[in-house]
Amino acid sequence: MNLKRLFAVYDNVTEKNAYSDMKKYFIAMMVALLPLAAAAKGGYKITFVAKGCTDSALFMGYYLAQYKAFCDTAVNNGKGKFVFESDRELSPGLYFFTNDKDRFVEFIVYHEKPTFTLSTDTDNWRLGMQAKGSKENELFFNFNRVSDVMYQDFVTAQKTTDSVEFQREYVPVYRHRIDSLRLEFIDRYPHCMFSRMMLSSKDVDIPRQFPDGTAMTDHQRFDWLLDHYFDNMALDDDFILRTPKDVFYNRVMEYVDRVMNRMPPEMICPHLDSLIDRAKPAPQVYRWLILNLTNHFLQSNIMVYDEVYVHLVQRYFATGEVTGLEPSVVDEQVERAAKWQHILVGRVAPELVLFDTLHHAHSLHHMPGRYTLLLFWSPTCGHCRDIVPAVYKVAQAYSDSLALSAFAIMTEPDDQTVVKWKNFLRDHHMDSPRWVHLNGGEANVDWRQVYDVTTTPQIFLIDNHDHKIVAKKLNAEILETILKALMAENRKR
């Protein structure tokens, strides 16, 4: 297909980025929602004219990783004209106009000054869009018109063709035509934001042999993918943050959750550092990756991934690499990571000395048997009331074969809760001599701080031979899986 006529606007797109970095971030649960920059440097004036539009107002918004956000509203002048104007600066990315009936059309803000006019004279906003004063958008709208015509041909064929023939003949042809359209656009306009966005969505081609012709093993091909997964991604440009989630967010999370699935922390951490490092030329992407990857591993239920969280905080928060955050937010993460560093899987569990119901002292490091369950729980905690009896039942099943004991700390040692605690133990017949029930009111250390007990239950499995943490973040199901594995390992010895 000859795109020269379709995209004959200009081939040169300026490389100069006139957009400043954002000044503030609003963080909720460490997910960074990056607003428009507050600095006024020319601002924007974007006019949208939609012939026959009767909406009293339209909204302007943008993509932000996995979210969409609104940034402005304009009223109808009575003739379908809407002027969005502000002295705020727009960060680069894919934006959209929409109404309260979900009518929707996208446009681009990139290196050009956002003082252009976009218009349509048809009911189908996307098909009828024209741009004045924006080469980027003129190219973008022309591409959309061509691809939409292809899609309509495809839909027509689907309705009028036998399903077997359609899948065999039309689907491959349609995919080839769309792919060719994209590749020719990317080749002709490599510096356009839309080209870089489409290229970012393209999977890398994993080679089957090295440059010298030597065949790659599956393991070598996987290692290559780990190193080159983001070769097509425009991580060096802040616009990538403001694209639909399939372009940037989903691919980052696919890399973390699927490509690196079940990899050990010592392998994950260098690859995350490499990913973050590639985004350094784009301050907003760089900051987003640090904050959201840190939050992702903070929230992870995979016990060994606490080590990844600690690594990210120590490398980027404690060193001041991530900027623009309230000091209290940074301090909170650094403090938590410092605690977690001492209770990671494989570390020696900090010693605890507490008293049972008869005020007899017990030491965690002097528990009998081979393994000890360390539990922090309360009878007033709904999750604890469900999980702890189930854990008790599993532990009892393995108590003799694995010499398993329990060091169970009640976390709310007030008089009223102590009564509920004792009643709960009696009602659930949790009277095994291997289970030591301890009142958390008096101890050798502040166990809440040492073990970062902010929620309950918290359950650890400890090897009494070296007092190292074998597992954490346990429930009955996970505990049983681990105990079965320990049994199998013992049988091999």
Confidence of residue 18 (pLDDT cuts 50, 70, 90): very low
The pLDDT tens digits for 35-69 are 444 333 579 999 999 988 889 999 999 999 999 99
Statement: residue 26 has pLDDT above 80: no
Which pLDDT belongs to residue 126?
84
The pLDDT tens digits for 246-260 are 999 999 999 999 999
Residue type, position 15, single letter: E
Average pLDDT, integer, range 233-238:
97
Average pLDDT, integer, range 367-384:
96
Q: Where in the chain is the domain with CATH 2.60.40.1120?
A: 26-160
Q: How far apart are CA 203 and CA 229, in angstroms?
A: 8
Q: Which residues, at least 6 apart from 176, have a Cβ–Cβ distance to it below 8 Å?
A: none
Eight-state DSSP code of residue 112: S
Which pLDDT belongs to residue 19?
26
Q: Where in the chain is the domain with CATH 3.40.30.10?
A: 353-492
User: Which class is domain 26-160?
Assistant: mainly beta
Q: What is the mean pLDDT of the chain?
A: 89
pLDDT cut 70: percent of the chain above it: 91
Which pLDDT belongs to residue 127?
84
Q: What is the pTM of this model?
A: 0.85
Statement: residue 1 has pLDDT above 80: no
Statement: residue 22 has pLDDT above 60: no
The pLDDT tens digits for 302-312 are 999 999 999 99
Which pLDDT belongs to residue 10?
33
Which pLDDT belongs to residue 40?
34
Average pLDDT, integer, range 288-295:
96
Question: Residue 20: which of 325, 242, 238, 243 has the closest Cα?
Answer: 238
Average pLDDT, integer, range 127-155:
92
| The CATH number of domain 353-492 is 3.40.30.10 | yes
Residue type, position 341, single letter: Q
Structure tokens at 375: 């539990």
Average pLDDT, integer, range 10-36:
33
Q: How far apart are CA 14 and CA 110, in angstroms?
A: 10
Which pLDDT belongs to residue 29?
33
Question: Residue 350: which of 338, 335, 368 has the closest Cα?
Answer: 338
Confidence of residue 353 (pLDDT cuts 50, 70, 90): very high
DSSP states of 237-300: SGGGGGS-TTTTHHHHHHIIIIITTT--HHHHHHHHHHHHHHTTTSHHHHHHHHHHHHHHHHS-
pLDDT cut 90: percent of the chain above it: 77
Question: Would you say 70 and 23 are in contact if contact means Cβ atoms under 8 Å apart?
Answer: no
Render the burial of 79-117: b for 16+ CB within 10 Å, e for the rest: ebbbebebebbbbbbbbbbbbeeeeebbbbbbbbebebb
Q: How far apart are CA 398 and CA 403, in angstroms?
A: 7
